[in-house]
Every structure is written in C-alpha cells, then in structure tokens.
Chain A
Amino acid sequence: MAPVTYRQALRDTLRAEMLRDENVFLMGEEIGLFEGSYKITEGLLKEFGPKRVRDTPIAEEGFVGAAIGAAMLGLRPVVEIMTINFSLLALDQIVNHAAKIYGMFGGQASVPMVIRTPGGGGQQLGATHSQNVELFYSFIPGLKVVAPSTPAEASAMLKAAIRDDDPVLFLENLALYNTKGELPAPVEEIEPAEIGRAAVTRPGTDITIIGYSRMARVAAEVAETLAAEGVSAEVVDLRSLRPLDRATVVESVRKTGCAVVAEDDWLTYGIGAEIAATIQEGAFDWLDAPVRRVAMAEVPLPYAKSLESAALPSADSLLTAVRDTLRATGRPVLEPAR
C-alpha cells in the first residue's frame, strides 16, 4: 500500500471509528468548520454533521469536563485539544475528574474518552506553545497515556484508545504530522493495538535506545546510522507512557547491557528519569555503563531558531550520547569511522 502521512492515518481512523460506532463523536476548538488547526478533522463535519463533529468555544475546562460527563453516560467522545499546552487549562477536569471517577465511586461509572493533542517544539512557537507535558498525565493512576510514533501505530493506537473504557490521553507531535509510513491494511481493517505494550522496533545487541513519539523516530534514524558503523542498536518504542511496559525495557537492557533514553521533555523528573530508575531496579547487574538521558535543555523554549535548535534533542545529540555510553562500557568498541 502507498505510504500515508501520520495526519492522514489519524483522520482516516477517526472516520472509520465514527462509521463503526455512532456513540463516537468529536469535540474541540476549530475542528468543524475550520477542519482542525492541523487539519486532522478535514472533511469530517461535512460527512458527519455538527452533532458528531462539534465545534466548542475556547473553554478547555468546560468542554473537556463536558466530554467526561458525556462519557459517563456511555458516549465515546474524542476531544481535540489544539496543543498539549492548552490542556493545562483543563488540568482539573483531567486529573481530578476523568482520572478519578472510576475509582472514587467504586467502579460504578467509567470514562471512555480520548483526548488527542499534539506536543512538541521546533516550530518556533515560543515558550508556551512548544512544551511536552505528557509527564503530568503519565503520573496519574486512572489515566492512560499513549504516544505512537508512526502512521500505522497511530491508527492502531487511536482505535484502541477509542474502544478503551478509560480516559486516554493520545499524544501527537507537530513534527510527526507530515511524516509518512505504510499501513499494514486498509484503515478499517487495522487491528487495535494493545495499550500498555512497548515495541522493539529494531532488534540489536550492543545498546538499547528507548524513545517515544518523535524521539522513537529519531532513535530509529540513529540506529540506522550506527548500523553503518557496525554498532547494533536495539530500539524500544515505548508507545504507552502509562501504563509503562517496564518488562520490555528491562528485557532489552539485560540483553544489551547499556541504554540511552531519548525524550522530548525536560530531563529533571522527566519520563527518562522513570525509565532510568526502572532499568537500575530491573537490570542493575546487567549494566555496563550508567543509563544516559537525552532531553531538552532546562529552559523555557526560546523563539530564535539558533536557540530553539540548541535546546531540543536531535539525532546528533542522541548519537553523541550513544557513543559516550558505549565508550563508558569499557567494551572494546569501535570508534566511528570519520
């Protein structure tokens, strides 16, 4: 099949799920008439009408809360929050309500809703529009947080998220929307993914590189570069941040003996910190070098391209960290041919 963009995979999957289940409907700012700030909902208002593609006022707390209430009565709302930065306005509804309703009332009502939202820097959008705050949600029991990195994964994961009975934060990334990949089947036939499973997207023996969303893609690129140099890197795409598939991570590191975590958020208390802690607890005796983290510089992301590029993790910074880590193992490893 011809490759499709991440954007197209999302759009076609939303459409397929809406055709499959009439309880699935979309809510968000500018998703109808405007067809989505990033055009993920292109054509859907025309096809499904305003009942199922509902433009909302600029009121994240209000419409996220409304989606939760609708989900409690059995609908399956898919909410688009224009960027993850704006989800902070709905933090109370997401953390204190969506995540709590099932447990707090003894399992009497679930909240089968999805919040789709893109994060990511690199677009010169400045400090308040370039964050990755998925960590806030990954911290909360009761929420599920997924972050697929390819069009095929995005489709399978979105299906799983929509059919799941719990609130799922579906993390997208601005830099991924135009990336392309093959789908394994026509979109309506794609099997839903299993939420909570990481994937070894490239097997290897020398080092484990762990990433998610955009950084899983960067990790794949870096592994390719390393292969050309004779280094066999294993890439683990976390895919799901909560629940976290610790077993897959640990199994890989027990095989390779060292690891680098690549994350698109800040290092301090970040996702990588959790992964590193997991590795030391589950693979301490197998480690030949300290776990290294590649993450954003600890600054509000600046506008100027020179500063923004310097602050964001990239293939180059990941490659550097991988080489440092391999060197730290003390193994007789090849320096890259230059």
Chain B
Amino acid sequence: MAETTRSATKAAPARTTRRARGTKASGPTAGAAENGAARAVDGAAPGGPAESAETLVAYYRQMLLIRRFEERAARAYTEAKIGGYCHLNLGEEATVVGLMAALRPTDYLFTNYREHGYALAKGISAERVMAELYGRSTGVSKGWGGSMHLFDAEARLLGGYGIVGGQVPLAAGAALAVSYKGGDEVVMCHMGDGTTAIGAFHESLNIAGLWDLPVVFVVINNGLGMGTTVEHSAAEPELYRRGAAYRMESVRVDGTDVVAVRDAARAAVERARAESKPYLLETVSPRLKGHSVVDPARYRSKEEKEALKAADPLARMALELEEAGILSHDDRDRLDAEVTAAIDAAAAFADESPAPEVSTLFDYTYATPVPGELRRLPADPVFSS
C-alpha cells in the first residue's frame, strides 16, 4: 500500500510548464502516450499561453475553501454535529477545482460519497452543503441525504451516491437522455479507484461506448480504496487503460495540478460534447487523511504519512503562486481569513437551521401519491380503529 501512495505522490513529474503534466509525465502518467487507445489529451500540450494570475488565484481560493470546509466538517463531526459517514476531499482539492472548471453550468454531474468539494465547486453555497451535513431542512437534500447524498437539481449535481459504483450506470443513462433529446449537455461521472473493479463500471463503459454517449467517466485515483491499495485490488493498476477494452479514449493526469486537470477534463468534456463520445479520465492525487473522518489510517507507515505532506496540492500551489509573485504570504493570509470566515458563517447557518419536522416523514416515499399508503410510526397499529 505504501507503494501506491508513493506512486500517487510521485506521479507529479518534474514540471516545466504547468499544463504539460497531464501528458508529458514520467512514471504512471507516461502510460497515457503508450497505450493505443489512450492518447495525449489535445490542448494539454506544453508551451501554451500562461494562465492569468486572476484565474490561478480564483482556483487557489476555491481549493482553500474546500480545504477549510472539510477541516470544519471534521471538527463538527467530532463535536457530534454531523452523523453517519463523512468522507473528505483533503488532498483532492486541485482535482475537484480542475474538473469543475471544465464543465458548463448546464452539464450534469454524478459523483460518489466523497463529494462536498464538488458540490461547492459546482456552485452550491457552503451554507446549504454544511446544513445537509448537519441534517437540517435547509440542506441541499433537505436533510434526507447527509454527507454522502448531496443533490441539487438547479446546479445539476445529480447526486452523491454512497454505494460504490452505483452512480456509474445512472450517469450513462443520463447521457442517454441527453442524446435522446438531442441536447448538448455533457454528463460527468466521478468514482474512486476501487470502483474500477465493480461490474457496473464495466457494464456502463461498454454501454456508453456502444451507444456513443456524451459522458466523461473520471476515476479519482487516490491510491486507496479504504485501506486497500490499487495494486492490491487491480490487476491493471494503470486504471485509465481500462478504457481500451471499450475503445474509449482515456488518459491519466496529475490530480494535484489544477490546470492540468482542467485542461485534460476540458478536452474530454468538449470531445464528448462535439462528437458524442464517452471518455475515461484518471486523476492521481493523494488522500491526505483516512478513508473517512473516523479512520486514523493506521495501515499507513510513518514515512508514508510524512511523504503526504510534500504531496499536499494546496501547499504546493501556495508556494508556486508566491514564487511567481502572484500571491504573497500576506495575500494568502488575507484570503485564508476571508474563506475561514465564510466557512464559519456556513457552520453557524447550519447550526441555527431547523431539523426537518417529523410531520414531513412521509413526504418523499412516492412522487405519485398512492391510495392507502401505510403511514405509520413504529408503535402504531396498521388499522387504527
């Protein structure tokens, strides 16, 4: 397992230009160019115009917002404000922001249970996301979903899903609906590395390939499915290569580089849009903490945990922006204070929001009401008279 984390962190090659990393990589990323079905992403070639300072700072700010949100969620969990399972995007911030920057507001997103950051980056307010974690009626899913099941029809976030792989066929089906109606939206579907072993993953890729569906599958490889390494669960650990089995273009990109992720995702999304073809993208980034808030990750060695610090995409971007003279230490502190205040406000909003009324318990079993539906609480008799 140590191997994977290292490979995930080492996947970031010596960088010449920011945009090259997705394809001009040594190590795992180099595989992209070797595989017949997986080729370099168009537009991700080095030497492109430099990214504007404004854009980079905006990305950094979003990454920071996600970081502070997740830290706050972890704290609220230990304070028993948040229940159930709680999986954080710590270490995944560059991937989150890069992927979401590639989508149009009208594009659909299906994701898994590690999705707070995606909800934020898709434009949902931190207040509504935090309120959902707190199980309040003001939450995105009205308190019915919790951390794993964020949904917002308006933002076109069509769900975080708690069953590994469950969202993958759904995303293919949503893309089928887009294609059926002749729309130009693209569906993006995230999953973890462990999902690539699930039957539904393969069935969905086959269907998407067969039917030319405008869906971009993104494997977010953080090296670990709970405590099991990719090498321990995948006969082909270069996960993007699975696309070849379905004649699907696929590529692996350094998930700690926000611009590289955005460019690779944009190429995939725009190809899906223009040609109605599915795409498989793999991002490689570290998972800085345990599988969920309650996991101390004892299966990781001390050295491994130490190495994670060097792989922190947020710290690296901060350093890069400082070195490039784009964001000084003071600017960064100011940004941090601003973001932290926003998260504090979100937590306060969640805390002050009402819990859903018990009288609403039966509101969402059926969309079309049915006669004689049994609406009883545990002690109630079936027949009341």
- Closest Cβ–Cβ distance, residue B144 to chain A (whole Å): 4
Residue of B at shortest CB range from A281?
A: B382
A interface residues with partner B (beta carbon < 8 Å): 25, 51, 56-57, 59, 61-75, 77, 92-93, 96-97, 101-110, 112, 141-142, 144, 164-166, 194-197, 243-247, 250, 278, 281-282
Complex interface bits, B363-385 against A, C-beta within 8 A gives 1, otherwise 0: 11111101111100000011100
**Which residues of chain B (145-176) have a CB below 8 Å from chain A?**
145, 149, 151-153, 158-159, 161, 163, 166, 168-176
A97 touches B207 (CB 8 A): no
In the bound complex, residues from chain A placing their C-beta under 8 Å from that of B168 are 65
- Closest Cβ–Cβ distance, residue B174 to chain A (whole Å): 4
In the bound complex, residues from chain B placing their C-beta under 8 Å from that of A243 are 370-374
Given A61-B200, A281-B381, A70–B166 Cβ distance below 8 Å?
A: no
- Closest Cβ–Cβ distance, residue B180 to chain A (whole Å): 6
Given A69-B171, A106-B143, A108-B151, A25–B180 Cβ distance below 8 Å?
A: yes
A196 touches B370 (CB 8 A): yes
Q: Give CA–CA (A64, B204) in the complex, Å.
A: 10
> Would you call B7 an interface residue if the criterion is a C-beta within 8 Å of the partner chain's C-beta atoms?
no
B371 touches A194 (CB 8 A): yes
Given A57-B207, A67-B173, A107-B363, A51–B180 Cβ distance below 8 Å?
A: yes
Complex interface bits, B90-111 against A, C-beta within 8 A gives 1, otherwise 0: 0000000000000000001010
In the bound complex, residues from chain A placing their C-beta under 8 Å from that of B145 are 104-106
Given A69-B169, A102-B366, A281-B383, A109–B204 Cβ distance below 8 Å?
A: no
Of B139, B166, B177, which contacts A73 at CB under 8 A? Answer: B177
Give 3 closest A-B pairs by Cβ, nearest first. A65-B169, A69-B173, A62-B203
- Closest Cβ–Cβ distance, residue B212 to chain A (whole Å): 12
Interface centre among A69, A101, A141 (most CB of B within 10 A): A69
In the bound complex, residues from chain A placing their C-beta under 8 Å from that of B172 are 62, 65-66, 69
Of B153, B170, B372, B374, which contacts A108 at CB under 8 A? Answer: B153
Q: Give CA–CA (A196, B374) in the complex, Å.
A: 11
> Would you call B206 an interface residue if the criterion is a C-beta within 8 Å of the partner chain's C-beta atoms?
yes
Q: Give CA–CA (A69, B169) in the complex, Å.
A: 7
> Would you call B250 an interface residue if the criterion is a C-beta within 8 Å of the partner chain's C-beta atoms?
no
- Closest Cβ–Cβ distance, residue B350 to chain A (whole Å): 16
> Would you call B332 an interface residue if the criterion is a C-beta within 8 Å of the partner chain's C-beta atoms?
no
In the bound complex, residues from chain A placing their C-beta under 8 Å from that of B365 are 102-103, 141-142
Q: List 6 A-B contacts (CB under 8 A).
A: A57-B207, A68-B170, A72-B174, A75-B176, A103-B144, A106-B143
Of B108, B204, B372, B383, which contacts A62 at CB under 8 A? Answer: B204
- Closest Cβ–Cβ distance, residue B298 to chain A (whole Å): 30
> Would you call B178 an interface residue if the criterion is a C-beta within 8 Å of the partner chain's C-beta atoms?
yes
A108 touches B141 (CB 8 A): yes
Residue of B at shortest CB range from A245?
A: B372
In the bound complex, residues from chain A placing their C-beta under 8 Å from that of B372 are 196, 243-247
In the bound complex, residues from chain B placing their C-beta under 8 Å from that of A142 are 365-366
In the bound complex, residues from chain B placing their C-beta under 8 Å from that of A104 are 141, 144-145, 149, 151, 159
Of B204, B367, B370, which contacts A110 at CB under 8 A? Answer: B367
Of A66, A92, A109, A197, which contacts B173 at CB under 8 A? Answer: A66
Interface centre among B140, B158, B175 (most CB of A within 10 A): B158
- Closest Cβ–Cβ distance, residue A51 to chain B (whole Å): 7
Q: Give CA–CA (A25, B177) in the complex, Å.
A: 11
Q: Give CA–CA (A124, B367) in the complex, Å.
A: 40
B366 touches A69 (CB 8 A): no
Q: Give CA–CA (A62, B166) in the complex, Å.
A: 10
Given A66-B204, A68-B169, A69-B174, A105–B370 Cβ distance below 8 Å?
A: no
Q: Give CA–CA (A108, B145) in the complex, Å.
A: 11
In the bound complex, residues from chain A placing their C-beta under 8 Å from that of B210 are 57
Besides A65-B169, A105-B141, A106-B141, 11 more A-B contacts (Cβ < 8 Å) are A62-B207, A103-B144, A103-B364, A104-B141, A105-B159, A110-B367, A196-B372, A243-B372, A243-B373, A246-B383, A250-B383
B144 touches A68 (CB 8 A): no
**Which residues of chain B (67-110) have a CB below 8 Å from chain A?**
108, 110
Given A250-B383, A278-B382, A69–B177 Cβ distance below 8 Å?
A: yes
B383 touches A195 (CB 8 A): no
Given A97-B166, A106-B144, A107-B363, A59–B207 Cβ distance below 8 Å?
A: yes
